[in-house]
A and B are shown apart, each in its own frame.
Chain A
Amino acid sequence: MTKLTGAQMIWECLTLEGVEVVFGYPGGAILPTYDAMLGYKIHHVLVRHEQGATHMADGYARASGKVGVAIATSGPGATNMVTGIATAMMDSVPIVCITGQVGSKAIGSDAFQETDVTGVTLPITKHNYLVTRTEDIPRAIKEAFFIARSGRQGPVLVDITKDAQQGSAEFVWEHGPVRLPGYRPDLRTLPGELERALQLINNAERPLILAGHGIISAGARAQVLEFAERAQVPIATTLLGIGGIPASHGLNLGMMGMHGEAYVNSAIQQADLLLAFGMRFDDRVTGNLKTYAVNARKIHIDIDSSELNKNVRVDVGLVGDLRDVLQELLPGVQSADHSAWLDHIDSMKGDVAVRDIQSLPDTGHLYAAHVINDIWRLTNGNAIVVTDVGQHQMWEAQYYKHDHERTLITSGGLGTMGFALPAAIGAKFACPDREVWVVAGDGGFQMTMAELATIKQEKIKLNIAIINNFYLGMVRQWQEFFYEKRYAATPLLGPDFVKLAEAFGLRGMRIKQRAELQGLVEEARADSGTVVIDFQVEQEDSVFPMVPAGADLDKMIRRPARDVMIETGADPDEWELGA
């Protein structure tokens, strides 16, 4: 057996776990590990802030389905990771964070750059480790990867003291499955529940599938589609469920919830059976729980048994991997004809077109929805789009039609502004051959724009769309609707984004008219380097429809319908789209 230093063991373990790229930032307590890195083939991306490292690992994981890895030093390095870890926790994204810690003898002495990182991250990690002995490193890292990627996925942090990194020991890598007696990601419910579920499914008249992130995590697209097609059940998706089933599928109604289509929310309220597949009844999709889908029986399938009956009381709860549970259910699911129900939903859809932002008159301004819809057309819907948080995020969800899994990457649960740019860098490393777009607001973009330097240093190609309305738009919208337009601290003066891009050695563009859009976007896409596009859009536009927080799901604020449709600056129907 060979003796290795703890630092070498870390890289050895990462190599054995199949890691190809890590995102990190060096510092005192992690220096031994950085020194050992030079002997290994894993590519290290130097970030500009440790929050960026966690978002990159997150974006990498969401785009690839593999575990993302972030590295930082002790104290401030580790605490800077907190936002990214919490983001991954809320959205069940598998990442492993490795942090240096002060020497084991100094722990508890308030040493320089000492923070109780396992304590700080305890409630926002799936699990975490403090490793103080060299020989414990391989096992901790192996367990960390196993826990991160199994069951309900999530972030795991491994905090390793400097002396553990410096010490030497025999490297023991236990091949085969990890043995963790208290960790059972394969917990199941009793089989009788399946029968009860089938009875409800086969007798439903107005069934509806609520499709969440679990479809993507479990890789259950085929099973969900087989289920839906056979039993003729329409599907509404959560924000994170987008892409789980093709947007163009006839049974896919689109997004539900606060900014979902009104007819989708109405359908939920009118359904007699809700089938919740890998979603967790977040308050942003249910609205007022007291009036939520009161006519519906509910079947909830989730890998995490603590999600069942958490927010919404369900009639049947099935614990397990969505794909496995559906495979068990499918033999008992009967063909059905719900055409009356589907026709009814279709009839409710009616007025969407008149209220559509695409029908707005041309005010000489650019609308964010146009920008996103046009990017969708120009990219043939094939790009990976990474969004930030706010109005543009909702418009993305509404106007970019995702047919493919893992092509919308967005912070859903935590709603982390500043997520988009670093997460897109991670996504690009996961899928170097794919076209990756950042769609961010001018507010969120400014939170993490230092990562433009990372892009330059790593020579990667992104297309960055800043939806710039000179406001913190979503907050402004709430102020408009619920605080009498008292715009406290929402007007936002940003830098000149074109010059900013140039200062980082990247190309910048500015678009103010829809007529300029096609040409410049095509130019940006064709450019071999990253291009930052400052889309200066209508400033006080709002996202419609909207369920006010805590209101009944079908009591939505609707976009005022316009009676006249005036030509906008360009007619996208006449664009010649390349393949």
Chain B
Amino acid sequence: MAHTLIAYVEDKPGVLNRVASLFRRRAFNIVSLTVGRTEQAGVSRMTIVVDTDGPGARRAEANLYKLVNVLRVDDVTNKPAVVRELVLVKVGVTAEQRTAVLQLVNVFRARVVDISAEAMITEITGSQDKVESFIETMRAFHIISVARTGLIAMVRGGSKISANPPLVAAQLPEDGAAEGTSELSMSV
């Protein structure tokens, strides 16, 4: 099962390499990984989707905490969170097909961001399910290329998240899922 981890890391050279190396070394399979700056200077945020079970996710979290440049880790898999991915799909279309494509784009609330004589680039943002089914639908036409950002995620609600949790979950969650681990690491 896919687990979504958010890691706040110091914005320093080589940190991405350290994180990626950790997942490789511990034999985890990364589904997607995105990195970007945050509202805090010097802090980057990684959203890592990793193909593992509950205990595996806790192990990944614990190992991430061992990296000196990692500030905080949250497993948001079972938390109320907004999860989004941005996808660009370039489809080859004839003049006759254009309308059909535009209709589907509207249904998915996607956008057309570029049109040329024989192709158009569409853009869709949404949950993984939504973008997957959009790409599936577009297969009816001639897909020239697909570019995906990978997932980013944000927990709902207004509480401020500390980048410095003093306590970590040492226990496996009872049901094998990752619930509760984040609760523990929330306390400051």
- Please list the residues of chain A having a beta carbon within 8 angstroms of any beta carbon in chain B: 118-119, 122-123, 126-127, 130, 147, 180-184, 186-190, 193, 304-306, 308-310, 313, 316-319
In the bound complex, CA of A308 to CA of B164 (Å): 21
Which one of A122, A181, A313 lies within 8 Å of B10 (CB-CB)?
Answer: A181
Which one of B17, B59, B170 lies within 8 Å of A319 (CB-CB)?
Answer: B170
Assuming A305-B62, A309-B58, A309-B59, is B170 touching A182 (CB within 8 A)? no
A196, chain B: closest CB distance, angstroms? 9
- Pairs A-B, 4 closest by C-beta atoms: A306-B62, A317-B170, A189-B170, A183-B68
- Please list the residues of chain B having a beta carbon within 8 angstroms of any beta carbon in chain A: 9-10, 14, 17-18, 21, 25, 55, 58-59, 62-63, 65-71, 163-164, 166-172, 184
Q: Is the CB of B63 within 8 A of A306?
A: yes
B65: chain A residues at CB < 8 Å are: 184, 187, 305-306
Assuming A122-B18, A310-B59, is B68 touching A190 (CB within 8 A)? no
Q: Is the CB of A305 within 8 A of B168?
A: yes
B128, chain A: closest CB distance, angstroms? 28
Assuming A122-B21, A318-B170, is B10 touching A304 (CB within 8 A)? no
B66: chain A residues at CB < 8 Å are: 304, 306
CB nearest to A304 among chain B residues: B66
Q: Is the CB of A127 within 8 A of B62?
A: no
In the bound complex, CA of A186 to CA of B172 (Å): 20
In the bound complex, CA of A190 to CA of B183 (Å): 11
Q: Is the CB of A308 within 8 A of B62?
A: yes
Q: List 19 A-B contacts (CB under 8 A).
A: A122-B18, A130-B14, A181-B164, A182-B68, A182-B69, A182-B71, A184-B164, A187-B65, A187-B166, A189-B167, A189-B168, A189-B170, A305-B65, A305-B168, A306-B65, A309-B55, A309-B171, A313-B55, A317-B170
Q: Is the CB of A306 within 8 A of B59?
A: yes
B46, chain A: closest CB distance, angstroms? 13
A193: chain B residues at CB < 8 Å are: 170-171
Q: Is the CB of A319 within 8 A of B18?
A: no
B167, chain A: closest CB distance, angstroms? 6
B68, chain A: closest CB distance, angstroms? 5
Query: Residue among B58, B62, B169, B184 with the most chain A CB within 10 A?
Result: B62
A192, chain B: closest CB distance, angstroms? 10
Q: Is the CB of A188 within 8 A of B71?
A: no
B63: chain A residues at CB < 8 Å are: 306
CB nearest to B69 among chain A residues: A182
Q: Is the CB of A317 within 8 A of B171?
A: yes
Q: Is the CB of A305 within 8 A of B10?
A: no
A319: chain B residues at CB < 8 Å are: 168, 170
In the bound complex, CA of A147 to CA of B69 (Å): 12
In the bound complex, CA of A452 to CA of B144 (Å): 67
In the bound complex, CA of A319 to CA of B58 (Å): 14
A351, chain B: closest CB distance, angstroms? 40
In the bound complex, CA of A184 to CA of B163 (Å): 12
CB nearest to B172 among chain A residues: A309
In the bound complex, CA of A78 to CA of B25 (Å): 21
Which one of A126, A130, A187, A316 lies within 8 Å of B167 (CB-CB)?
Answer: A187
Assuming A187-B65, A305-B62, is B10 touching A182 (CB within 8 A)? yes
CB nearest to B62 among chain A residues: A306
Query: Residue among B17, B168, B171 with the most chain A CB within 10 A?
Result: B171
